[in-house]
Amino acid sequence: MPAVSGQFDTWFRRYEPGPAGAVKLLALPHAGGSAPYFLPLARALGSELDVLCVQYPGRLDRHREPTPTDLRDLADQVYKALVSAPAGPVVLFGHSMGAVLGYEIARRLEDSGGGELLGLIASGRRAPHRFRAETVHLRDDDGIIAEIRELSGTEQGILDDEELLRLVLPALRADYRAVETYRHDSGAPPLAAPVTVLTGESDPRVSLDDARAWQELTSGTFRFRSFPGGHFYLNAQPGAVTAAIRESVAAFRSADASTSS
C-alpha cells in the first residue's frame, strides 16, 4: 500500500534494520531536534529493538514543510503515521518536548486501541499537568539563542555558525510555541501503560519533584531514574541512558506478558 509506505518513510528514520518482530522504540526529539539526534541510540539498540527516530516537519530533508505549532496536531500526525505501519508492540521514548508528545501519542493509542502500547519513557520534562508559564517562543532570535545556549543541547558547531543558526531558528521557535502553548487535559484518565521517567539531577527547567509527578498520570507501574547533569544529561552518559531504556523496555515486556497470561 503506497500510502502507508509514504507516511512511514516521511515520519520515521530507521538507521539500523532491527530484528524481525522486535518491539518498536519510537524516539521523539526535543524542541529544535531532529531524527539524527538519536542515531547513537539507534546504533546501540538496533540489534534488539526496531528503533524509529521521528523526523518532525520543518527541518533537514523536511525543511520545506511547515513546522507544526500545535503539539496536539503534531501528536495526531505522528500517531496516524505510526498506526499505518505493521502492527506490533510499541514503546514511546521522548526527550523534553518529545516527552509531552509521547504522552499525547500514548493517549491516542490507548483511546483508540490502534496499537499495542507497552509503555512510555519520558525524559527531561516535568509532568504535563505541572503547568508553568513560559514564553521563549515570544523572544527575539537572540533570546531564543540564549535559551538553547543555557540548556547546552545544541552542537557548538551550530551555535558558532551564524548562518546555520538562523536557518534552524524558525523550526526551533515553532517547537517552543507548540510545547509552551500546550495545556494538559485535566479530565483525561491516567494512562494504563507503565511510565518510566529519566531526568537530570541539575536540570534548570525540571525539578525532581516535577519529574516524579509523572506518576500521577499512570495507573500502571512507575519507575524513576535521575542522572548527574542538566537538561541534556543524556549527551554526557549515553551508555547509562541506553541501559536504562533497555531495562525499561524489558520491564514493560515482562509486565505485558504477565497481564496477557
Percent of the chain residues past pLDDT 70, beyond the cut: 91
As a whole number, mean pLDDT of residues 135-152 equals 79
144 or 107: which carries more pLDDT confidence? 107
- For residue 42, what are the domain limits? 2-260
224 Ramachandran zone, left/alpha/beta (phi>0; psi -120 to 50)? beta
Cα distances (Å, whole numbers) of residue 143 to 91, 137, 158: 35, 9, 16
Reply yes or no on whether the pLDDT at 58 is more than 60.
Answer: yes
Stated as kind and residue range, the H or E segment containing 136 is none
As a whole number, mean pLDDT of residues 61-65 equals 93
Pick from 168, 184, 64: nearest CA to 130: 184
Percent of the chain residues past pLDDT 90, beyond the cut: 70
Give pLDDT, residue 257.
74
Reply yes or no on whether the pLDDT at 1 is more than 50.
Answer: no
Q: What share of the chain is helix, strand, coil (3-state, %, to 5)?
A: 50, 15, 35
Reply yes or no on whether the pLDDT at 174 is more than 70.
Answer: yes
Please state which of the ranges 44-58, 59-73, 156-170, 215-229 shows the lowest mean pLDDT: 156-170
Stated as kind and residue range, the H or E segment containing 98 is helix 97-112
How far apart are the C-alpha atoms of 105 and 93, rounded to whole Å?
11
How far apart are the C-alpha atoms of 22 and 51, rounded to whole Å?
9
Give pLDDT, residue 80.
94
State the cell numbers at 198.
529519566
Please state which of the ranges 70-79, 86-95, 111-120 shows the lowest mean pLDDT: 111-120
Give pLDDT, residue 106.
98
33 or 1: which carries more pLDDT confidence? 33
Query: Domain of 204: which CATH number?
Result: 3.40.50.1820
- pTM, two decimal places: 0.92
Catalytic residues: 96
Reply yes or no on whether the pLDDT at 3 is more than 50.
Answer: no
Number of domain units in the chain: 1
Residue 240 — very low, low, confident or very high, per pLDDT cuts 50/70/90? very high
How far apart are the C-alpha atoms of 222 and 195, rounded to whole Å?
5
As a whole number, mean pLDDT of residues 236-243 equals 95
Residue 136 — very low, low, confident or very high, per pLDDT cuts 50/70/90? confident
Q: Where are the beta strands (DSSP E) in 84-213?
A: 89-95, 116-123, 195-200
Q: Mean pLDDT in the chain?
A: 90
Give pLDDT, residue 163.
65
As a whole number, mean pLDDT of residues 200-220 equals 96
